Amino acid sequence: MAMNEQCFKEIQDVQAEIYQTYKYSEENLTRINEISQEKYKENFELFTKHTKELQLLKQNLEDVFMRIRKIKNSLKTKYPEEYQEAEKMFPEIEID
């Protein structure tokens, strides 16, 4: 009978140790999760801000290039000979 009580006590000790390990791991994982949530929120806000800035930059560049095309067309219409000379001297660069 003493052997059974000793085995039972050992099992309880092992279970208590496993439980403590579990609780420690759970606390660490909870802290990691909280830190991850904070970092995600910070990075998401930065990503959103940068995305909006890039969209604005893209729109501004499209506007600039549209104005350049209008000016070129206007010059081509007003001064066709001079425009052809300028095109020969400064050929348009193709960008892929």
Residue 96: the pLDDT is: 66
Residue 72: the pLDDT is: 94
The rounded distance, in Å, linking the Cα atoms of 25 and 29 is: 6
Percentage of the chain with pLDDT > 90? Answer: 85
pLDDT over 70 (residue 67): yes
Task: Give every CB contact of residue 82 below 8 A, 6+ residues apart in sequence.
Answer: 75
Domain ranges of the chain: 19-89
List the beta strands (DSSP E) in 23-72: none
What pTM value is reported for the model?
A: 0.61
**In degrees, to the nearest 5, what angle opens at C-alpha 79 toward C-alphas 78 and 83?**
130
